[in-house]
């Protein structure tokens, strides 16, 4: 498709998503509570390195839980699957994202897409000092996005003030022996990754990097190995949308991860990375309109992971040129 065709398609999908009602802007992080609920954006990135974005595409937002797949990828790249999964599982929990539930009461978090699992994963990131470990995470997120990313001081401070539950999860995991290192330092690094700012185009590129087997399609840099990208996408498929992961897979057929600030990142291996942003979220913490936009686009482009289809012709469904 030409850039004009992509703009028309994405604009149409976004207009349909805008008609979907429901959800509220997350308020448990005070810095998010004042976000304009009417913001709406949609972007795609392809293996060719092309990016198309419409709507409020230049508005930055905090990754929040959408950072989890990428820091999980970093932990896997540093330690390997076996070592990481001594500390965290890879099973759907069926519980809220901030639940204290662990696998069979063992103290091991169900998966790295829950808050406890992500905090444990963050504790595994290497570095000699707190600053070095924090910078490794920000550098990783930036490499996935293909440009240097910044952290929102307001969101970070807000999490520090209102993040008692996440702090409790860190100490609970430390008490069970799953969390390596100091829990207070670890949860602060977790807050930092959550407060990292992206645009919808950045997030689409990050998703596309996973879809491309760990190679950033914009920069050509190998960020993580193909085996790591595959593992991350597998966990996103079963766990990325919290206790709505099953219904989401039936609906869209896409590995995806949401963030309570209102974003959804989705990817189809070898085909596309998608990101949508709309602040109002449902009771599970998933953006109502962002899910609608991603699911509608997946339907339009026949992206369902489990669809029986002939291989796409070369160049089909790929934007040609940045928009």
* Number of domains comprising the chain: 2
69 and 190 in a single domain? The answer is yes
187 and 252 in a single domain? The answer is no
| pLDDT at position 5 | 87
Task: Consult the annotation and say whether 59 binds a ligand.
Answer: no
| pLDDT at position 93 | 87
Q: What is the C-alpha to C-alpha distance for residues 12 and 7, in angstroms, rounded to an integer?
A: 8
| pLDDT at position 258 | 98
Task: Consult the annotation and say whether 190 binds a ligand.
Answer: yes
- Which residues make Cβ contacts (< 8 Å) with residue 293, sequence separation at least 6? 13, 14, 16, 17, 40, 42, 264, 276, 278
| pLDDT at position 320 | 41
| pLDDT at position 313 | 56
242 and 266 in a single domain? The answer is yes
> Is 134 inside a domain boundary?
yes
The CATH number that applies at residue 142 is: 3.40.710.10
How many other β-carbons are positioned within 10 Å of the β-carbon of residue 238? 16
Q: In which residue ranges of the chain is pLDDT below 50?
A: 318-323
35 and 111 in a single domain? The answer is no
| pLDDT at position 321 | 41
CB 119 within 8 A of CB 176: no
> Is 307 inside a domain boundary?
no
| pLDDT at position 98 | 78
Q: Which range marks the domain in which residue 126 is found?
A: 65-194
Task: Consult the annotation and say whether 72 binds a ligand.
Answer: no
Task: Consult the annotation and say whether 171 binds a ligand.
Answer: no
| pLDDT at position 310 | 56
154 and 241 in a single domain? The answer is no
> Is 319 inside a domain boundary?
no
| pLDDT at position 33 | 95
Task: Consult the annotation and say whether 286 binds a ligand.
Answer: no
| pLDDT at position 323 | 47
Backbone angles phi, psi at 199, to 5 degrees: -100, 170
């Amino acid at each position: 498709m030409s850039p004009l065709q992509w703009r028309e398609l994405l604009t149409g999908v976004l207009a349909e998503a805008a008609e979907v009602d429901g959800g509220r802007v997350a308020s448990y992080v005070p810095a998010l509570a004042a976000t304009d609920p009417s913001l709406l954006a949609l972007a795609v990135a392809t293996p060719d390195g092309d990016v198309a974005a419409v709507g409020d595409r230049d508005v930055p937002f905090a990754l929040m839980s959408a950072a989890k797949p990428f820091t999980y990828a970093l932990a896997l790249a540093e330690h390997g699957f076996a070592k990481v999964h001594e500390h965290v599982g890879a099973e759907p929990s069926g519980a809220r994202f901030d639940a204290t539930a662990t696998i069979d009461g063992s103290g091991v978090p169900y998966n790295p897409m829950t808050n406890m699992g992500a905090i444990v994963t963050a504790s595994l990131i290497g570095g000699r000092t707190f600053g070095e470990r924090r910078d490794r995470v920000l550098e990783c997120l930036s490499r996935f996005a293909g440009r240097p990313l910044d952290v929102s001081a307001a969101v970070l401070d807000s999490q520090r003030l209102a993040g008692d539950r996440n702090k409790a999860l860190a100490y609970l995991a430390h008490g069970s022996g799953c969390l390596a290192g100091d829990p207070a330092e670890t949860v602060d690094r977790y807050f930092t990754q959550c407060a990292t700012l992206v645009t919808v185009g950045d997030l689409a590129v990050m998703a596309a990097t996973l879809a491309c087997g760990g190679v950033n399609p914009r920069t050509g840099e190998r960020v993580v190995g193909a085996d790591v990208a595959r593992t991350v996408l597998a966990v996103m498929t079963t766990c990325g949308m919290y206790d709505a992961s099953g219904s989401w897979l039936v609906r869209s057929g896409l590995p995806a991860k949401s963030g309570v600030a209102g974003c959804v990142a989705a990817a189809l291996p070898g085909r596309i990375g998608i990101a949508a942003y709309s602040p109002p979220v449902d009771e599970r913490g998933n953006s109502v309109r962002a899910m609608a936009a991603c699911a509608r686009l997946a339907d339009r482009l026949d992206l369902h992971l489990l669809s029986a289809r002939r291989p796409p012709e070369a160049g089909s469904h790929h934007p040609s040129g940045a928009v």
